[in-house]
Amino acid sequence: MALNAQPATNGHADSLASSSSLSADINPPVTNGVNGQSLTTRVQVVNEDKEFSKDLGDHIERWGLHNAGFGYDVVAVFGSQSTGKSTLLNRLFGTTFDVMDESNRQQTTKGIWMCRAQNMNVMVMDVEGTDGRERGEDQDFERKSALFSLASSEVLLVNLWEHQVGLYQGANMGLLKTVFEVNLGLFGKRRLDEATRQRTLLLFVIRDHVGSTPLANLQKTLTLDLTKIWNGLSKPEGLEDCQLTDYFDLAFTTLSHKVLVPEKFETDVQSLRKRFTDRDDPNFVFKPAYHKRIPADGVAHYMESIWEQVQSNKDLDLPTQQELLAQFRCDELATLALEMFNTQAKSVRKPVEAGQVVEGLGGMMQSWKNESMARFDRDASRYHPGVYARKRADLVAQINSGLGPLFLGQLKNLHKFALSSFKKEVLAGIKGDGYDFGEVVLGATARNEGLFREGATEVLLPDTDWSYEEELQQLSHDISLIADQCRADETKKMVSNIERTIKKQMSESIEHSLNQATPDMWDNVLRTFKETLAKAEATYLGKATSFNCTEEENTTSLAILRKRAWQALRAKVDEQLTDLTFLAKLKSRFEEKFRYDKEGVPRVWKPDDDVDSVFRAARDELIPLFSKIQPKDRSLEFSLPSDSDDSTLTDEGEFDFEATLVVFTEAKQADLSTRFRRDADAYYVEAKRSMVSSIAQIPTWIYGVMVVLGWNEAMAVIRNPIYFLLLLMGLAGFYIVVQLNLSGPLYNVAKSVGNEVHRQASQRIREQFAEPPQPQLTRPMTNGTSDEYEPRRRQTDDSRSSLYPEKEL
Ligand SMILES: Nc1nc2c(ncn2[C@@H]2O[C@H](COP(=O)(O)OP(=O)(O)OP(=O)(O)O)[C@@H](O)[C@H]2O)c(=O)[nH]1
């Protein structure tokens, strides 16, 4: 048979609908809007085939009790078949259970039904009547339903007719015996103390109370019967002396005859209802001690597992069931909380994976975690505390492990960001002049490590074993690597700058020394070089302290600096001693040596001078001097290790210092010598010629002859006053011209006058002796191509005849 869930539309519910007395207290069924169904929709929890409904959870949700926590109660009714149980429940709670049709008198309630009480957070269970005619001798269901109701309900209503009191069978004593027995099975296995012991209220409702036997008497009879049953039970070991009242509270009430005195019946129902609704009523039934402490959202699962246990005839241990329920529900709630967390965390997973530093990630992570934990705590904390604590710890661990990759990702991204920001800062800091490299690096390191630490602290959640120390150490290491690289670059730059300065400083002095080409030329060059290098090294060391360079780095850099300086010197020497420059230098130097004497006066070679040896000395002295860098003073010698390992800083191959000392190789020297000899030989020849010309001068004796022959003329000028006066005037004029420096202008004037006189004279002579002008020849008409030659031919022809007719005449 299928399980039912029916709204209150059954025709048998007319007795409820027609009840005017209840209408004042119980409002008409209200709907909760879920599929338009009534809040008082009932559900068959267990059907006739003893199958448990899968819909109970949905119904509890529909009844709006799902989130009630512990704020709900469960009441069940027991009693023989057709004793007005459903009628009573409907009257008391406004439920919609089926009521038997009077004309038919057939069993109506089959299995176990449940319905929510109207305007009350109460779940009401209508249990199939005992002594079921329909089930015959099937006592199994009776026992199982009793067990189930006892495990789930706080209050058990035991419904019986007044006339059944005192009877064993009629008063359901058999059923009650079963209840007591199963109760010992359920709760008796553990000796629970007063505080933790779960109690159940047995509320006996004596129907059709006529009034002749007062309630007190009926109560007494029933209590005696119950005690008798209890004492007759075989109790488990250790619980032999436990009393009925240790587990049950007994309460009794009567209801008047429904048919004979319906008004009185209604009044009794109303006052009984008050015991369920009015918390201030001294007989209020829903005492906290009766509550089974199952949160409302776990009721469906709890009841189902109870029924499974009951159905499979396994021992039912409620505390264990509660723990199992707690585990089940806590798992469910943890899954929900985790889903909620994952949905929230998903939004930042991508950017973090893509390498972005997500601002305020730690705050977000904490809030997701808090929200998810709050969601879990709200429902799960109502379950078994031990299970809840365990599951909570599991959930925290799961959430933390979900957040772990975000934490690590954020650390990685912060690392990357801090590293690149460090690099940028250092590069920006060392732009321009006047910076202290060490300070720039220290500042950038502190700032970016601080930045990382700040970001990492923000993302570090409190109740985790996470740490960012390792990543921070890695960052510091990477930063120092970059700083080292920058320092190496800076050092390189500095060495290059110093090298430039060295070049500038040495240049002029070296040029001068090489031009002088004195025997101590290399001494001067090396002295200048060493002084400049010493200054450069001092500059380097001064700057290197701010770079935080290590001793080793300084040694390497200085070695490079020395080598570069030496190479600069060599380059300068090479520049000054290119073939052409050197030949020119040789020439001028040779000229200087060969053509001028030590005082710089031009040499006049005399026949007895040893031109050849002077020439050879001048020629052969210079090339050896320049061919090797070799100072006269040995203390000025400079040396470098040939195998200095600076291949990282220069692109050059192997460095051989000794080779660099050689300016001209043997072959080069020979070549230069040959080329120079041609020029030098020319000077030699010139010197020889000048010797010859000096030999060809006027002999001295000629001057003696001239004095002897001119003696008379000189005497005549001295003795003649006119000649003498003219001589004096001439000398005076010469003196004035020399004193006033007029020799130049006078020379020019004289030259111009001379030129003019010469020109005039030439013209006169030409006029005097010139031939008469030639007549103009008419150019003949020709069409030939040789016009240019024609006049010349004619001129040649006519020269013999009529070209100058006057002359011929
Ligand atoms: N005499 C009398 N009859 C009643 C009383 N209450 C209900 N009845 C009648 O008893 C019959 C059975 O009522 P139900 O409420 O269906 O009884 P039940 O115990 O739920 O029956 P099952 O569910 O079949 O076990 C109906 O005809 C009712 O009208 C009452 O207080 N006194």
Cα of 83 vs centre of ligand 1, distance in Å, is 5
Q: Is the CB of 80 under 6 A from ligand 1?
A: no
Would you say residue 190 has pLDDT above 60? no
CA 41/CA 31 separation, integer angstroms: 9
Distant-in-sequence, close-in-space partners of 74: CB < 8 Å, separation ≥ 6: 122, 123, 124, 125, 152, 153, 154, 155, 292, 299
Cα of 82 vs centre of ligand 1, distance in Å, is 5
Please tell me which residue, 38 or 524, carries the higher pLDDT value.
Answer: 524
Beta strands 122-127 and 112-116, pairing class = antiparallel
**Mean pLDDT across 364-375:** 92
Q: Which residues pair with 256 in a beta bridge?
A: 209
Q: Is the CB of 154 under 6 A from ligand 1?
A: no
The pLDDT assigned to 6 comes to 45
What atom of ligand 1 comes closest to residue 265's alpha carbon?
31
> What single DSSP character describes residue 24?
T
CA 70/CA 406 separation, integer angstroms: 38
* Strands of the sheet with 112-116, listed across from one edge: 5-6, 42-46, 112-116, 122-127, 73-79, 155-161, 200-209, 248-256
Q: Is the CB of 524 under 6 A from ligand 1?
A: no
Q: Are 93 and 117 in contact (CB under 8 A)?
A: yes
- With the most atoms of ligand 1 within 8 angstroms of its CB, the residue from 82, 101, 159 to mutate is 82
Q: Is the CB of 109 under 6 A from ligand 1?
A: yes
Q: How far apart are the first and last CA of the chain?
A: 176
Q: Is 624 helix (H, G, I), strand (E, B) or coil?
A: helix
The number of residues making up the chain comes to 809
Would you say residue 798 has pLDDT above 70? no
Lowest average pLDDT, out of 15-29, 38-52, 601-615, 670-684, goes to: 15-29
Q: Is the CB of 10 under 6 A from ligand 1?
A: no
Exposure class string for 186-220: b at 16+ Cβ within 10 A, else e: bbbbeeeeeeeebbbbbbbbbbbbeeebeeeebbe
Radius of gyration over alpha carbons of the chain, in Å?
68
> Tell me: the pLDDT tens digits for 716-758?
888 888 989 998 999 998 998 888 888 888 888 888 899 899 9
Cα of 72 vs centre of ligand 1, distance in Å, is 27
- With the most atoms of ligand 1 within 8 angstroms of its CB, the residue from 15, 100, 160 to mutate is 100
Q: Is the CB of 95 under 6 A from ligand 1?
A: no
Would you say residue 772 has pLDDT above 60? no
Q: Is the CB of 207 under 6 A from ligand 1?
A: yes
Q: Is the CB of 229 under 6 A from ligand 1?
A: no
What atom of ligand 1 comes closest to residue 129's alpha carbon?
25
Mean model confidence pLDDT for the chain: 79
Give the residue whose CA is nearest to atom 23 of ligand 1.
109
Give the residue whose CA is nearest to atom 14 of ligand 1.
84
Give the residue whose CA is nearest to atom 6 of ligand 1.
84
Q: Is the CB of 112 under 6 A from ligand 1?
A: no
In terms of Cα–Cα distance, which of 99, 81, 80, 82 is closest to 90? 99
> Tell me: the pLDDT tens digits for 148-159?
888 889 999 998
The pLDDT assigned to 409 comes to 93
Q: Is the CB of 100 under 6 A from ligand 1?
A: yes
> Tell me: the pLDDT tens digits for 785-797?
334 333 443 343 4
Q: Could you give the angle at the alpha carbon of 418 between the alpha carbons of 413 and 421, nearest 5°?
A: 125
CA 252/CA 174 separation, integer angstroms: 19
Would you say residue 661 has pLDDT above 70? yes
Binding residues for GTP: 79-86
CA 328/CA 320 separation, integer angstroms: 12
- With the most atoms of ligand 1 within 8 angstroms of its CB, the residue from 21, 99, 109, 266 to mutate is 99
Give the residue whose CA is nearest to atom 18 of ligand 1.
82
Would you say residue 68 has pLDDT above 60? yes
CA 160/CA 255 separation, integer angstroms: 10
Structure tokens at 107: 């069993």
Q: Is the CB of 84 under 6 A from ligand 1?
A: yes
Q: Is the CB of 269 under 6 A from ligand 1?
A: no
Query: Kind and range of the H or E element at 250?
Result: strand 248-256
Give the residue whose CA is nearest to atom 27 of ligand 1.
102
> Tell me: the pLDDT tens digits for 554-604?
888 888 888 888 888 888 888 888 888 888 877 777 777 777 777 777 777
Q: Is 769 helix (H, G, I), strand (E, B) or coil?
A: helix
Cα of 100 vs centre of ligand 1, distance in Å, is 6
Give the residue whose CA is nearest to atom 15 of ligand 1.
84
Please tell me which residue, 156 or 131, carries the higher pLDDT value.
Answer: 156
Give the residue whose CA is nearest to atom 24 of ligand 1.
107
3-state secondary structure 101-117: CCCCCCCCCCCEEEEEC
Q: Where are the alpha helices (H) located in 354-436, listed in sequence order?
A: 361-380, 385-429
Beta strands 73-79 and 122-127, pairing class = parallel
The pLDDT assigned to 452 comes to 93
The pLDDT assigned to 373 comes to 93
- With the most atoms of ligand 1 within 8 angstroms of its CB, the residue from 12, 15, 81, 83 to mutate is 83
Cα of 97 vs centre of ligand 1, distance in Å, is 12
Would you say residue 45 has pLDDT above 70? yes
**What would the DSSP string read from start to end of 503-567?**
HHHHHHHHHHHHHHT-TTHHHHHHHHHHHHHHHHHHHHHHHHGGGT--HHHHHHHHHHHHHHHHH
CA 798/CA 306 separation, integer angstroms: 162
The pLDDT assigned to 578 comes to 86
Query: Residue holding tokens 């740490």?
Result: 467
pLDDT grade for 809, boundaries at 50, 70 and 90:
very low
Cα of 265 vs centre of ligand 1, distance in Å, is 13
Give the residue whose CA is nearest to atom 29 of ligand 1.
102
Could you give phi then psi for residue 388, rounded to 5 degrees? -60, -45
Would you say residue 7 has pLDDT above 60? no
Cα of 154 vs centre of ligand 1, distance in Å, is 24
Cα of 150 vs centre of ligand 1, distance in Å, is 23
Binding residues: 79-86
Cα of 87 vs centre of ligand 1, distance in Å, is 6
Of the spans 134-143, 163-172, 626-635, which averages the highest pLDDT? 626-635
Give the residue whose CA is nearest to atom 22 of ligand 1.
82
CA distances from 416 to 20, 31, 413, 422, 451 (A): 80, 60, 5, 10, 12
Q: Is the CB of 81 under 6 A from ligand 1?
A: yes
Cα of 252 vs centre of ligand 1, distance in Å, is 19
- With the most atoms of ligand 1 within 8 angstroms of its CB, the residue from 10, 44, 86, 87 to mutate is 87
What atom of ligand 1 comes closest to residue 207's alpha carbon?
31
The pLDDT assigned to 25 comes to 40
pLDDT grade for 435, boundaries at 50, 70 and 90:
confident
Give the residue whose CA is nearest to atom 31 of ligand 1.
258
Percentage above 70 pLDDT, the chain = 82
pLDDT grade for 175, boundaries at 50, 70 and 90:
confident
Q: Is the CB of 13 under 6 A from ligand 1?
A: no
pLDDT grade for 276, boundaries at 50, 70 and 90:
very high
Cα of 103 vs centre of ligand 1, distance in Å, is 12
Q: Are 548 and 487 in contact (CB under 8 A)?
A: yes
Q: Is the CB of 108 under 6 A from ligand 1?
A: yes
CA atoms within 13 A on the CB side of 66: 12
> What single DSSP character describes residue 245?
G
CA quadruple 441, 442, 445, 450: dihedral sign: negative
Q: Is the CB of 794 under 6 A from ligand 1?
A: no
Please tell me which residue, 474 or 800, carries the higher pLDDT value.
Answer: 474
For residue 4, the one-letter residue type is: N
Cα of 226 vs centre of ligand 1, distance in Å, is 25
The pLDDT assigned to 156 comes to 92
Give the residue whose CA is nearest to atom 13 of ligand 1.
84
Would you say residue 239 has pLDDT above 80? no
CA 498/CA 628 separation, integer angstroms: 26
Q: Is the CB of 107 under 6 A from ligand 1?
A: yes
Would you say residue 329 has pLDDT above 60? yes
Would you say residue 776 has pLDDT above 50? no
